[in-house]
Structure 1
C-alpha cells in the first residue's frame, strides 16, 4: 500500500492569508520555496484527486493560524474526504494558541468531522512546541488516538522559524511518550536534528514531503537517515499541490543518479522502496475504514461552510 502522508487543498490563496492586502514580497517568499514555481498551484479537490491516482491512501490537511490569518477549514476537508472515503483521510488543522477553542475544535474534528490526525505548525502559529497550551492539545490528541503532524510552516515571511527546530519536539516526545508525532519535511533545514530524534523516540516519525524537488538536499537527508539506521521511520509524502505523488516517487527512485560515477555512497534501492511502500497508517495507528455517515451537526457545518 502506498500512503501519501502530506497533501493540501485550498479553494483560493486567500485561505492562506494571501489576500489583496498581502505584500508582494510575502507572496514571492512562499513561491520561492518550490523551484520552478512562479504562480500559485492548483490545489482544488479535482486536481488533488487526479494527482492521488498512483497512491492507495492520501492524508489531506486542513490548517488554521490566528497569527497569520490563515484558515483552510476542517469542514472543507471533511466534505472532500466523505466524497472518497476509500481513498482519503482527513487531518485537522488545530491552532493551540487559543486553548479553549483548540480543544473544542479537536473534539469536533474527531467526533463530528471524522478526522484521523491533527496538524500544527509552531512557526506559522507562533508558539513554542512545548507551550503548556500545545501540550494540552497534544495530550488530548494522544488520548483520542490521533497522531500529530508538525509542519515546518515556512510559507510566509512572518513565520517564526525559531519555533520550527525539530529539537524543540524532544521535550514533547519525552513528556508524552505514547503520542505519535510526525515531523514534516524531515525538519528541513534542520535535518540532522530530525534524524537524531527519530533514533531517540520510538513514536516519532518524519515525512519526506517537500524535499524531493531539491535533489541534493534530499540525497543528503536520505543518506543521513540510512546511515543513522532510521530510514524505517521515514514516511512518504508528496506535499501536493507543490509536487505530485508521481513526480515525488520518480524523484525518490532517481536520487542515487546524483552520485553515479563518484565515490559517494548511495541509498540502497530497497530502502527507497520501503519508504514508498511503508504501512504508515499502521505505524500511526490510523484506521483506514470509511468515515461514518453524516449526522445533523455535520450537515449544519457543511451548510455554514458553503
Structure 2
C-alpha cells in the first residue's frame, strides 16, 4: 500500500492569509518540471485527481491566528467524507490559542472524525515546547492522535524561522515518548537535524515531500539517512499542491541519476522503494479508512 502522508487543498490561496501574497520565492516555489506551483488550482477535485497514483492520502487543515490564515477543518472533513475510502484527515490547530486548540482538537476527533492534528510553530508564532503547545500535545496523546509538524517556512516573511528547527522538537519527544510525531518535508532546510531526531526517538518520523522538489538536496539527505540507519523512519509524501504524487515518485526513483558517471555513492534502490511502500498507517498508529467504515 502507498500512502501519501502530506497534502493540502484549499478553495482559494487567500485562505492562507495576506502574508501568502508576500511569500516570494519561499512560498511559490517550483515544481519538479520547472514550472511554478499551481496555487490557484489546489481545489478538492484536483486534489483527488492528483492522488490517483497512491492508495491513501492524508489531507491536512491549517489555521494560524498570527497569519490570519484558515483552511477550515469542516472543509477537510467534508472532503474526506466524500472520498472516505481514499482519504484520511488531519485537523489544523493553533496552540498559540490553547483553549481554542484544545476545543478544536476534541471536536475534530469526536464530531468531524479526523484522525490526527497538524501544527506549524513558525507560522503560528509559538516555540514548539511552549507550555501552551504541550497541553495540546498531551491531549493528542490522550486521544491517540499523531501530530504533524510543518516547518511553515513557505507562508511568508512573518514566519519565525527560529521556531521551525527540528531540534526544538527533541524536548517534545522526550516529554511525550509515545506520541507519533511526523515532520513534514523532512524538516527542510534542516534535514540533518531531522535525521538525528529520527535516530534518537522511536516514534518520530518524517515525510519527504518538499525535499523532492530539490533533487540534489534530496539525494544528499536520503544518502545521509541511509548512512545513519534511519531510512525506515522516512515516509512518502507529495506536498500537494506544490507537487503531485506521480511527480514525487518519479523524482524519488531518479535520485541516483545525479551521481551517474561519478564516484558518489548511490542510495540503494530497495531503500527508496521502502519509503514508497512503508506501512505509514502502522507507523503513525492510524486505522485504515476501510477498517473505520466497517466498524
TM over 0.5: yes
SS of the equivalent of 1:53 reads: coil
Alignment of 1:184-263 (within 5 A): 184-263=184-263
Q: Is the 8 A contact 2:122 2:159 kept in 1?
A: yes
CA 28–215 in structure 1, closer or farther in 2 if over 3 Å, else same: closer
Aligned to 1:118: 117
Aligned to 1:167: 167
CA distance in 2: counterparts of 1:100 and 1:189, whole angstroms? 31
What is the CA distance between 1:277 and its match in structure 2? 0.2
Q: Is the 8 A contact 1:41 1:242 kept in 2?
A: no
Post-superposition Cα deviations, 1:224-255, rounded to whole Å, max 9, x if no partner, equal 10000000000000000110000100100000
CA distance in 2: counterparts of 1:206 and 1:42, whole angstroms? 26
CA distance in 2: counterparts of 1:218 and 1:29, whole angstroms? 17
CA 82–39 in structure 1, closer or farther in 2 if over 3 Å, else same: closer
Aligned to 2:142: 143
CA 161–215 in structure 1, closer or farther in 2 if over 3 Å, else same: same
Q: Is the 8 A contact 1:41 1:241 kept in 2?
A: no
Aligned to 1:134: 133
CA distance in 2: counterparts of 1:54 and 1:26, whole angstroms? 30
- The two structures, once aligned, show a CA RMSD in angstroms of 1.6
CA distance in 2: counterparts of 1:289 and 1:28, whole angstroms? 37
Post-superposition Cα deviations, 1:7-59, rounded to whole Å, max 9, x if no partner, equal 000000110014xxx58543554113655316524111100101100100000
Q: Is the 8 A contact 2:121 2:164 kept in 1?
A: yes
What is the CA distance between 1:288 and its match in structure 2? 1.1
CA 23–106 in structure 1, closer or farther in 2 if over 3 Å, else same: closer
SS of the equivalent of 1:138 reads: helix
Aligned to 2:71: 72
SS of the equivalent of 1:115 reads: coil
Post-superposition Cα deviations, 1:247-275, rounded to whole Å, max 9, x if no partner, equal 10010000000000100011010000000
Q: Is the 8 A contact 1:114 1:292 kept in 2?
A: no
Normalising by the residue count of structure 2, what TM-score does the alignment of the two structures yield?
0.95
CA distance in 1: counterparts of 2:49 and 2:29, whole angstroms? 25
Aligned to 1:108: 107
Aligned to 1:272: 272
What is the CA distance between 1:73 and its match in structure 2? 0.2
Q: Is the 8 A contact 1:208 1:235 kept in 2?
A: yes
What is the CA distance between 1:188 and its match in structure 2? 1.0
For residue 32 of structure 1, the aligned residue among 25, 29, 32 is 29
Post-superposition Cα deviations, 1:175-211, rounded to whole Å, max 9, x if no partner, equal 1101010111111111111000100000100000111
Aligned to 2:80: 81
Normalising by the residue count of structure 1, what TM-score does the alignment of the two structures yield?
0.91
CA distance in 1: counterparts of 2:269 and 2:189, whole angstroms? 24
SS of the equivalent of 1:211 reads: helix
